[in-house]
Amino acid sequence: MMFAIFFAFWRFMEIITLIPIMGMLAWFVNINLESNIMTPTYILLLFIVSVLALAWAVFTLFSYHRSSANAHFVSLIDLAFVGALIAGVYYLRFIARADCASIAPGSSVDIDFGIFGSARFNGVDVNISKTCGMLKACFALGIMNVVFFFVTAVMAWVHGGHAAKSEKRYVETRRRSHSRGHSQSRHRSRSGHRQGSRRSSHSHHRAYV
């Protein structure tokens, strides 16, 4: 029961953080397709991994009983996604050092958040790069999912070990009970045969008397 609660919690965390990654990177892919430009590897790789990881997280969440029965397999797939997410984050690592906002003195007090592009207030001009901010958010969420998938992989592996031990104990118990029942039935049949032979001998002796 505790495994089901914690597993579902971490799967929800993965789904919640993977959806923004997939949405933002899909916007980049669409822009490149409309411009007839090859999508950069650092965008395309993390986008593909996030789509597959999201589909896997949703599938294993809604088919929990099947996932619980194949916990070791689920753990291996989660570890594979950990490696894939690390690769996607590695290709996007350059954005961690990027400065997405620039501040310069100005005289206007107007506030303009047009598509979250810029804002000016109190004589300060703040320019925010939408592209840079979205990529940095994807980078951070990707690192979070590396941790999340590692946690679910460890949980599934531990649960699979416990399930295998309990199933082994159950099989051994069934075998012992079956062997005991079989031996008892054989013992009863032998005793019944002996009693029957004794009765038949007594009845045969009485016939001659």
- Dist CA 109 CA 125 (whole Å): 9
Q: What is the pLDDT of residue 115?
A: 46
Within a 13 Å sphere around the CA of 53, how many CA atoms are in the beta-carbon half?
37
Evaluate whether 46 touches 24 at the Cβ level (below 8 Å). Answer: no
> Between helices 41-62 and 2-34, what is the axis angle to 10°?
150
CA distance 100 to 116: 12
Per-residue pLDDT at 186: 58
What is the reported pLDDT for 178?
53
pLDDT reported for residue 128: 60
pLDDT on residue 96? 87
CB neighbour burial string for 49-66, b if at least 16 within 10 angstroms, e if fewer: bbebbbebbeebbeeeee
Q: pLDDT at position 111, please? A: 42
Binned average pLDDT, 10 residues per bin, the chain of 209 residues: 82 96 94 90 94 95 77 92 96 86 53 46 58 91 97 87 48 55 56 52 40
What are the structure tokens assigned to 126, written together?
Answer: 């703040």
pLDDT of res. 157: 87
Distance CA 26, CA 8 (A): 26
> What pLDDT, on the 0 to 100 scale, is given for residue 67?
66
User: What is the phi/psi pair of residue 63, to 5°?
Assistant: -115, 55
Q: What is the pLDDT of residue 127?
A: 55
The model's pTM: 0.67
How confident is the model at residue 80, as a pLDDT? 97
Using H for helix, E for strand and C for coil, what is the string for the chain?
CHHHHHHHHHHHHHHHHHHHHHHHHHHHHHHHHHCCCCCCHHHHHHHHHHHHHHHHHHHHHHCHHHHHHCHHHHHHHHHHHHHHHHHHHHHCHHHHHCCCEEEEECCCCCCCCHHHCEEEECCEEEEECHHHHHHHHHHHHHHHHHHHHHHHHHHHHHHHHHHHHHHHHHHHHHHHHHHHHHHHHHHHHHHHHHHHHHHHHHHHHHHHC
